[in-house]
Amino acid sequence: MSRRVAITGVGAVCALGVGADAIFDRLVAGESGVRTITAFDVSEYPTRFAAVLDGWDPSPWIDAKEARRLSRFQQFAIAAADEALAQSGLVIDERNAERVGVIVGSGIGGLQALEDQHSVLRERGPSRVSPFLVPMMIVDLAAGHISIRYGAKGINYAPVSACATGNHAIGEAAEAIRRGAADAVICGGFDCGVTPLGLAGFCAARALSTRNDDPAGASRPFDAGRDGFVMGEGGAILVLEEWESAVARGADILAELAGYGATADAYHMTAPAPDGSGARRAMSDALAQARLASADVSYINAHGTSTPLGDIAETQAIKAVFGDDVPPVSSTKSMTGHLLGGAGALEAVVCVQAIRRGVVPPTINYEEPDPECDLDYVPNVAREARVEAALSNSFGFGGHNACLLFKRP
């Protein structure tokens, strides 16, 4: 019999701030973190805004010397891990270190470090490239730094599956606990892709909204006027533990991670399967593993990127799974932007918070219904509700689908 998985700590960083509670408060208030980009010149870009954390200061978590050797996504990961582990109360020492893992992914990794050091290479030559370029750039070093910081010696790796990365990291962490490969796993995902090259790439793909006159209103999932997604940055960490050991040490169990489904569309490198079949199977698999019926789910945190095709495909997939039992659905990307590899992790924390706090965050900027998106998207205003179970969807370029199902403990 597989082992149950408890969530005992969460931590988060995004454009709305640092800290899971503070971020959730702002989501419930319907606040947007989207603003005009000021970190670099965007005057020639068709999209000139994103959801970025202005004024980020890593000094509360990382000393100045270490911070210079870490890229932004790694700094975010350490800050969120500190918060999550402090809440969980999990102590890692010689007694359990080999049974505590770290699975933290990223879609893009240290893109800014790569861009900066490429400029150094071109302008000053190879001898001046930083020896820290590779560890700052590669995806696995968020997991590596967390492991080193806390002495976690168990399973350790970094999934990369574009916008499904965070959910894959959390789901695979739960699977490691279920099969007995670990007793606890620190897991999540992060991305900081709002860089000159990152923004240019997504602009070239025509994937982004171009509402430069209204950045805060640009991310509008499921609204008829949506014209593309909004880039964001950040991510989140969850501490997962084997249920009985968490109970035995007196941990405050925030929620149970009861179900995980992962599938592929096998359709297109960027577009979702139009019928949402891959997403449908991932949701169905998560329900089956959790041994829940669709009517048992109280809330769905949608992938909901605000793209014309994606929102329709997800709506069709939800209807195929839930039929007449579709619960409230909202997309918090309307406020946080799309965190790419960090999106699923942040939205997993949102689901845990919705269960604990008894409130469902809204989809803001919902003004004109789309006939092809005809669900209850919790438009513009948060809603009090007792959430017994919450489903979180993440779907990535390449046809990757990953869904997580959380239950009230």
CB of 165 closer than 8 Å to CB of 189:
yes
Q: State yes or no: pLDDT of 10 exceeds 80.
A: yes
Q: State yes or no: pLDDT of 270 exceeds 90.
A: no
Phi, psi for residue 154 in degrees, rounded to 5: -85, -160
CB of 357 closer than 8 Å to CB of 265:
no
Name the residue type at position 255. A
Mean pLDDT for all residues in the chain: 97
- pLDDT band of residue 90 (cuts 50, 70, 90) is very high
Residue found by looking up tokens 């490198």 in the block: 269
Residue-level pLDDT at 272: 86
Q: What value does the mean pLDDT take over residues 282-307?
A: 97
Q: What value does the mean pLDDT take over residues 205-225?
A: 98
What is the pTM for the complete model shown? 0.97
Q: CA distances (Å), 256 to each of 6, 168, 184, in order?
A: 5, 17, 13
User: CA angle, 222 as apex, 202 and 303 as ends, to 5°?
Assistant: 60
- pLDDT band of residue 271 (cuts 50, 70, 90) is confident
Structure confidence by residue, pLDDT tens digits, 114-126? 999 999 999 999 9
Structure confidence by residue, pLDDT tens digits, 131-157? 999 999 999 999 999 999 999 999 999
Write down all domains in the chain, each with its CATH number in brackets: 5-248 (3.40.47.10), 260-407 (3.40.47.10)
Residue-level pLDDT at 273: 86
Least confident window among 11-25, 245-259, 260-274, 290-304: 260-274
Residue-level pLDDT at 275: 83
Structure confidence by residue, pLDDT tens digits, 308-362? 999 999 999 999 999 989 999 999 999 999 999 999 999 999 999 999 999 999 9
* Largest Cα–Cα separation, the chain: 64
Q: State yes or no: pLDDT of 195 exceeds 80.
A: yes
Q: CA distances (Å), 157 to each of 94, 105, 169, 370, in order?
A: 21, 8, 9, 41
Cβ neighbours for 198, distance < 8 A, ≥ 6 positions apart: 108, 111, 231
Residue-level pLDDT at 1: 56
Q: What value does the mean pLDDT take over residues 1-18?
A: 94
Structure confidence by residue, pLDDT tens digits, 33-48? 999 999 999 999 999 9
Active site residues: 163, 303, 338
